[in-house]
Amino acid sequence: MLYLIGTGLYYLNDLPLRAINEMKECDEVLLERYTNLNDISFLGELENEINKKIEVIGREVMESDTILEKASKEKLAILIPGDPLAATTHFSLVQECKNRGIKTKILHSSSIFTAVGETGLSLYKFGGTTSIPIYSEHFHPESFFEVIEKNLECGYHSLVLLEVKSKEEFVEPHKAVEILKEIERKKGMKIIDWENVIAMSKIGSDSQKMVKAENNEIKNLEPPCSLIIPGKLNETEKEALKTIG
């Protein structure tokens, strides 16, 4: 049996309380950490609580048959930053378990997809989510802009996730803004309301920050980060955005 357990937005001890009992009953507990660099300083404390060693795994394990093989023979729990089904990789894993007759249980938790409501923008008005990857010498994709463009055509807000590989290697919010402005320039467009674009950093932590894209403080944000590009604003949303520096 496979348990997918959300650990919440930032801290490992944000995971649901009922997850403790579930993990105690499992034969093995893994912590997936490639989709989000959440704070795992509570790992030792959690291991003591469940009386088990927790193995930290990366993409290579998550996308191999190892997980399915283990889950077919034992009770296996995987701790996943945010909500377990926010990433398509995890949903694909659930589908494959169903195909193989392996039982699954999902324990949901807080996610960036709901935390964006802290900006005052209505969750009901968010369109498709997209992400900006880390650029390299020969890798400069722009397909994410198409998602933003379609959202804006409908008046929807856009959540733009910024790729992070480590605390040193990530898409800096101010660089993401530069990329988007350059794409706008090349397309001859002015569709983004830059005065109200929001950069978010370490949401869910004690040191979370939200600043406007035009604020110089954007250059000091730490990962994980994201941008919110607002669509059509109602009066309540306009008032809420005035409180963000």
Question: pLDDT tens digit string along 193-235?
Answer: 999 999 999 999 999 999 999 999 999 999 999 999 999 999 9
Same fold, 2-110 and 113-241: no
Determine the average pLDDT of the residues in 82-95: 87
CATH no. of 2-110: 3.40.1010.10
Determine the average pLDDT of the residues in 41-64: 91
Distance CA 78, CA 90 (A): 10
- Whether the predicted pLDDT of 172 surpasses 90: yes
142 pLDDT band (50/70/90 cuts)?
A: very high
CATH homologous superfamily of 113-241 equals Tetrapyrrole methylase, C-terminal domain (3.30.950.10)
Give the domain ranges of the chain: 2-110, 113-241
- Whether the predicted pLDDT of 33 surpasses 90: no
Identify the residue with better confidence: 83 or 89.
83
1 CB-side CA count, 13 A: 12
Place of tokens 């989709």: 35
pLDDT in the model for residue 210? 97
Identify the residue with better confidence: 86 or 52.
52
- Both tokens of 47, joined, read 């291991």
pLDDT in the model for residue 165? 85
Question: Residue 204, SS3?
Answer: coil
Query: pTM (2 decimals)?
Result: 0.90
- Both tokens of 160, joined, read 């733009």
35 pLDDT band (50/70/90 cuts)?
A: low
| DSSP string computed for 46-94 | HHHHHTS-EEEE-HHHHTSSHHHHHHTTS-EEEEESB-TTSSHHHHHHH
**Antiparallel, parallel or unpaired: β 225-229 and 158-162:** antiparallel
